[in-house]
């Protein structure tokens, strides 16, 4: 049986991915800051597969390294890494953007992803196998008004994904990114700092992606035969044609 480590498993895409991978009999290491949510999900999914939880903030390099080093031996072989933890913080023009928001997005979406990968990649190299899925965004392919630093962080994920694919090729490690468009999760609640009405409005008037849609695709990607690597995938709701073109009548 394979084991997957999922960051950001307390909510949205990460949580749905945990549920989807459990259905494929993949053991799980669930990560996130909110311990209670991790434990709840562990309780639910332990009926199906083995589940271990690790609570840490991906911004804290030492905590990331400590947490992954603490894995019990039965979870020490990580076959699949889902680099999913991340959020947007704010939606402001560059001239009035808050430095704290910029720090959060660069530290979580870019540096956090790197810290987790830094610990997991050597394990995969030693195993001579592994599969890394990086969750990017349509914001990593295009820049939209006021998206500036979030888009920059996701463009970085796109570049890191391509770099990993090249550098890890010699070790037989599969690497791929999934770039979703609008998915209805807690993403906008975080972006708008708890202004739930504003967050809800983002997904009104069209049929957004659900986190389960992305989770199904991740499950598909990681269950392909070994010679198949899906390296770059953009997934949009049908109503969305680009980061800025959204048909709200669909």
Binding residues vs ligand 8X3 (CB under 6 A): 137-139, 147, 182, 187, 243
The residue (of 29 and 182) whose beta carbon lies closer to ligand 8X3 is 182
In angstroms, rounded to a whole number, what is the distance separating the alpha carbons of residues 46 and 30? Answer: 12
Which of ligand 8X3, ligand NDP, none has residue 10 at its interface (CB below 5 to 8 Å by kind)? ligand NDP
Q: State whether residue 207 is helix, strand or coil.
A: coil
Which of ligand 8X3, ligand NDP, none has residue 102 at its interface (CB below 5 to 8 Å by kind)? none
181 φ/ψ angles, rounded to the nearest 5 degrees: -85, -140
Query: Where does this chain bind ligand NDP (CB under 6 A)?
Result: 7-14, 32-34, 57-59, 84-87, 108, 112, 135, 137, 180, 182-183, 185-187, 190, 211
Measured in Å, how far apart are the chain's first and last C-alpha atoms?
42
Which of ligand 8X3, ligand NDP, none has residue 130 at its interface (CB below 5 to 8 Å by kind)? none
Cα distances (angstroms) measured from residue 220 to each of 28, 45, 149, 176:
17, 19, 31, 12
Which residues have a catalytic role annotated?
150
Closest CA to 56 of 99, 13, 119: 119
The distance of closest approach from Cβ of residue 202 to ligand 8X3 in the complex, given in angstroms and rounded to an integer, is 7
């Amino acid at each position: 049986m394979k084991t997957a480590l999922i960051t950001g498993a307390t909510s949205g895409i990460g949580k749905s991915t945990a549920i989807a991978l459990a259905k494929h009999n993949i053991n799980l290491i669930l990560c996130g800051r909110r311990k209670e949510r991790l434990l709840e999900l562990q309780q639910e999914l332990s009926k199906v597969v083995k589940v271990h939880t690790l609570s840490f903030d991906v911004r804290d390099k030492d905590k990331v390294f400590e947490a992954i080093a603490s894995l019990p031996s039965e979870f020490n072989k990580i076959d699949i890494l889902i680099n999913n933890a991340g959020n947007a913080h704010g939606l402001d023009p560059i001239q009035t953007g808050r430095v704290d928001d910029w720090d959060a997005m660069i530290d979580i979406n870019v540096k956090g992803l790197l810290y987790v990968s830094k610990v997991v990649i050597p394990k995969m190299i030693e195993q001579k196998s592994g599969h890394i899925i990086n969750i990017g965004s349509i914001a990593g392919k295009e820049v939209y008004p006021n998206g500036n630093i979030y888009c920059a962080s996701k463009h970085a994920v796109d570049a890191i994904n391509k770099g990993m694919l090249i550098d890890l090729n010699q070790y037989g490690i599969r690497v791929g990114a999934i770039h979703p468009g609008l998915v209805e999760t807690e993403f906008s609640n975080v972006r708008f700092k708890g202004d739930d009405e504003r967050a809800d409005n983002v997904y009104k008037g069209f049929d957004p992606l659900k986190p389960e849609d992305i989770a199904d695709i991740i499950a598909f990607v990681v269950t392909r035969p070994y010679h198949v690597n899906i390296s770059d995938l953009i997934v949009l709701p049908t109503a969305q044609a680009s980061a800025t073109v959204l048909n709200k009548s669909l």
